[in-house]
Amino acid sequence: MGERSFFSVNYDLIIHGEHMPYDLYVNASSLESKQKYVRVFPQGEELSLIDLENFKKKYRQLYVAEDQRNLYMKSLVKSEAIEDDDAVTFIKDSAINHLHKVFDPQKEFSTEILYETIRGCKDAVESMIDVLDDYNIDGLRMLIGNLATHDFYTYDHSINVSMYCLTIMRVLKPNATRAELLHAGLGGLLHDLGKVKIPTHILNKPEGLSEDEYQVIKTHPDLGLNLILGTGEEEFEGLDLKTIARIIHEHHENVDGTGYPKKLAGNEIHLLARVCAIADFFDAITTKRSYSEVVTVSHAISIMEKTVGKKIDEKIFKVFCNHIEYSNIAQAKDLRMSDEFDPSIPYAVLPLEEVEAMFSDEDFGKIRVIDEKTNKKIDKK
């Protein structure tokens, strides 16, 4: 059994006035290079505000054991005193912590690590379901905008896609079961799982991929499918791995059959994969990265609308649009996304193209009016 690990917790995010669902620790080592964690408050006892204030005076930092992370996360979600931003930030950090286990190039990939990651990601999505219970798509978009970003694009993007998948699923099917929401969210969180087999220098290359590098990127749905089903198991801790695998494998399929890897079309593509495709597309062009440009929500809707029936599902997109606020006033420029656009790529500059106007200014001719000051006729376009 490996050495027990711990994570630090903010004093403001420790519940009090009720029985503690987790233990609290301090690092009693006097050496910065070493850790010696000692329990200062036991699970099951009631922590008072006075206790917490005394700890704050006595200890610079408190810790929780990594194997109690889910208990701590659930306490944040349940507490009415904790702001949603804080709860979601911790859920996001937890999801990143679990995703990093499979993406860490220093660790050799194994089935054990994969299952540990799936288990941890499942816990994170379970908490997302609870904390995002009353969020609509527009509210979620604003919440995502308030969250800090990580240097590794795949982490932030996967978590955002997961939250969008959950929220879209709720509006598509208001009576969706918790299991359906869990599979939608977990499929979104793991949709790029196959990228663990893609070299990091390709994944994080913002200045443009060569054709060979792009072909490598396009293998990630197949790689993800093989990772999930390569274990030979179809069920894991109540999860239908075949459904998760289909979301992973089919989220880059286009409804007109031009996508990859299998060129599936229409209803051949799993419904949750079609949901994921819209979440993937929307987040990729609207969420700010450290080195990338984004478009406004209005432009995003206009751009995505031009791909309806080609890339994305018409019915799902219509529901999506009905639950997000945006201006439908004509934009100064009518933009479309290049057919080569792929949400998997962290573009420094989005491949946008200006749509040629149906009519030129000359087509409208000139209008002759009288200048009231000079009483002369002038031409106006």
The answer to whether residue 194 is domain-embedded is yes
DSSP state at residue 374? T
The answer to whether residue 253 is domain-embedded is yes
Whole-number Å distance between alpha carbons of 348 and 342: 13
The answer to whether residue 104 is domain-embedded is yes
DSSP state at residue 8? E
Instruction: Tell me the backbone φ, ψ of residue 152, rounded to 5 degrees.
Output: -90, 105
Same structural domain for residues 144 and 247? yes
Predicted confidence at residue 185, as pLDDT, reads: 97
Same structural domain for residues 332 and 186? yes
Q: Which helix (H) or strand (E) holds 9?
A: strand 6-9
The answer to whether residue 372 is domain-embedded is no
Instruction: Report the DSSP pairing between strands 46-47 and 6-9.
Output: unpaired
Among residues 41, 68, 95, the one where a domain terminates is: 68
Half-sphere exposure (Cβ direction) of 342: Cα atoms closer than 13 Å: 21
The answer to whether residue 256 is domain-embedded is yes
CATH assignment at residue 333: 1.10.3210.10
The answer to whether residue 75 is domain-embedded is no
The answer to whether residue 78 is domain-embedded is no
Same structural domain for residues 177 and 296? yes
Same structural domain for residues 20 and 129? no
Whole-number Å distance between alpha carbons of 264 and 86: 40
Same structural domain for residues 300 and 207? yes
Q: How many domains does the chain have?
A: 2
Same structural domain for residues 272 and 247? yes
What is the DSSP secondary-structure string of 133-178?
Answer: TT--HHHHHHHHHHS---SSHHHHHHHHHHHHHHHHHHHH-TT--H
Same structural domain for residues 30 and 162? no
Same structural domain for residues 42 and 93? no
Same structural domain for residues 98 and 133? yes
| Tokens standing for residue 84 | 């949603």
pTM of model > 0.75: yes
Predicted confidence at residue 277, as pLDDT, reads: 97
Same structural domain for residues 38 and 130? no
Whole-number Å distance between alpha carbons of 46 and 181: 33
| Tokens standing for residue 106 | 């220093």
Rounded to whole angstroms, what are the CA distances from 173 to 268, 318, 323? 20, 14, 13
Q: List the one residue out of 15, 19, 16, 21 whose CA is nearest residue 86.
A: 15
Same structural domain for residues 279 and 241? yes
Predicted confidence at residue 230, as pLDDT, reads: 86
Locus of tokens 């984004």: 294
Rounded to whole angstroms, what are the CA distances from 354 to 260, 278, 311, 332, 357? 26, 22, 19, 10, 9
Same structural domain for residues 49 and 92? no
The answer to whether residue 41 is domain-embedded is yes
Q: Which domain holds residue 168?
A: 83-354
Per-residue pLDDT tens digits of the chain, which is 381 residues long: 457 899 999 999 999 999 999 999 999 987 766 889 999 999 999 999 999 999 999 999 999 999 999 999 999 999 989 999 999 999 999 999 999 988 887 888 888 999 999 999 999 999 999 999 989 888 898 888 888 776 567 888 999 999 999 999 999 999 999 999 999 999 999 999 999 999 888 887 766 788 999 999 999 999 999 999 987 888 888 999 999 999 999 999 999 999 999 999 999 999 999 999 999 999 988 887 644 567 888 889 999 999 999 999 999 999 999 888 765 544 445 677 887 788 877 777 777 777 665 555 565 555 555 555 566 555 555
The contacts of residue 66 (CB under 8 Å, 6+ apart) are 4, 5, 6, 7
